[in-house]
Structure 1
Amino acid sequence: MATRQAVEERGTSVGGGREAQRLQTRARLFDVALTEIARSGLAGADVSAIAKAAGVVRGTFYFHFPTKEHVLVELERNEEVKIVEELTALRAEADDVETMLSTLVQRVSAAKHRLGVRVFREMLALHFSSTRPVESELARHPLAEFLIGVLAEAQQAGRVVGDADPAEIAVFVLTGLFALLATGAHDSGTPDALLSRYVRTVVKGLEKR
């Protein structure tokens, strides 16, 4: 007869195996969904095709992702976490607003090349869509959270105007950036110059007079 400890250990092993399998399925669905979105766009992405390519039934997709939009929301958060990690390392060397904002813009723009133009624009376009899943927790928006911290610190040091809400400024700055990148406005002419002008305009408006 199996001992109680052996039963518990076997149960833990089975539970751990199931969790590992669940995470593997979720990761597979995530990757396949991004491939489908890159091919057909968000509106044209077929959940049935995603499920079939991932080797699961359609309902399994919805178990992991309530909507196709949730796939892009998760992708964006993953990208933001990577960018914030890079910015945090840079902040230890140079934490002035213009340097941080310029680097942030460069990193977000570089994500387009990693993700592909279609997926990148579909991801950013969700910020201006009524179908974007509601997420009120600031922790779900690490890039905004980071920028708010930079702006608040600059206010305390007297480097930028102190009568504005750092959270409102961060939302304004990121919304403007996402609009430029999502619409492709920066793709014509000299994109780097346009983004640099955007940063300079923002910084100029924040300067303490």
Structure 2
Amino acid sequence: MANRELRSDAAANRDRIVEVARAELSRSNGAIAELKLHAVAKSAGVGQGTLYRHFPTREHLLAEVYRHELTQLVDAVAPLLAQHPPLEALTCWLDRLVAYARVKRGVMAAIEASAWQDLYSAHHHRLDDALGKLLDQGKAAGQVRAEVDATDVILLLGALSRIPESDWDTRAPTIVSVLVDGLRAR
């Protein structure tokens, strides 16, 4: 379906399904077990047949939610840089990344390892490029340490995967705060 153009009503249905699934995953903190496809279809105002035409399996829907979230995260870079000084834009973006990471944890757990690897390898460069742009702007403004690159930050953000769900709301912002403090130019 990705290779052919969707009718406008079909595209609108697909977009609503993805948005409802994304909102439901965010509401449930990425708890995939709570994502009921019949409830997603109903909330999106479509029949189950429409949902399954677009997304034959839960895994397909979750993969599209991942792609959608990643696109929104990448697309946020330019507006953030236009509205804020570079280090503040980076901080705002990292806060969004933390919200994204919470949903992604559940998505990663639900998508088969081989499918996840394909999905990740096809899209991870977009995240690296977005983060690199933020870091480059911060370096140019003298706000970010010159020796830091996107890989360094992503490795440090790996700590998010170790946070128990019950501690997420308190520990994730602390990790971002410590990370940003460590990125500041000396």
TM class, shorter-chain normalised?
0.5 to 0.7
Match of 1:106 in 2: 95
Percent of pairs identical after alignment? 25
| Deviation, structure 1 residue 69 | 3.4
Q: Contact between 1:87 and 1:104, CA under 8 Å: does it hold in 2?
A: yes
The correspondence for 1:146, drawn from 111, 130, 137, is: 130
User: In the alignment, does 2:64 pair up with 1:69?
Assistant: no
1:6 paired residue number: none
Q: What TM-score does the superposition give when structure 1 sets the normalisation length? A: 0.55
Establish whether residue 172 from structure 1 lines up as the match of residue 155 from structure 2.
Answer: yes
TM-score by length of 2: 0.59
Q: What is the rounded CA distance, in whole Å, between the counterparts of 1:208 and 1:35 in structure 2?
A: 37
The answer as to whether partners of 2:32 and 2:107 remain within 8 angstroms in 1 is no
Q: Which runs of 5+ in 1 are unaligned?
A: 1-15, 113-119
Give the total of aligned pairs.
Answer: 171
Q: What is the SS of the residue equivalent to 1:30?
A: helix
Structure label with greater radius of gyration:
1
Matches of 1:88 and 1:62, distance apart in 2? 35
Provide the C-alpha distance between the structure 2 equivalents of 1:28 and 1:153, rounded to a whole number of angstroms: 35
Equivalent of residue 95 in structure 1, options 86, 105, 115: 86
Aligned residues of 2:62 and 2:111 also touching (Cα < 8 A): no
* Alpha carbons of structure 1 residues 82 and 24: separation in structure 2 relative to 1, 3 Å: closer
Q: Is the 8 A contact 2:86 2:134 kept in 1?
A: yes
Judging changes above 3 Å, is the alpha-carbon distance between structure 1 residues 130 and 68 closer, same or farther for their aligned structure 2 residues?
A: closer
Hey, what's the Cα distance between the residues in 1 that align with 2:56 and 2:177? Answer: 40
Secondary structure (helix, strand or coil) at the match of 2:130 reads: helix
Name the amino acid aligned to 1:91: L
* 1:55 corresponding residue in structure 2: 47
CA distance in 2, matches of 1:205, 1:51: 41
Q: CA deviation at 1:68?
A: 1.7
SS at match of 2:59: helix
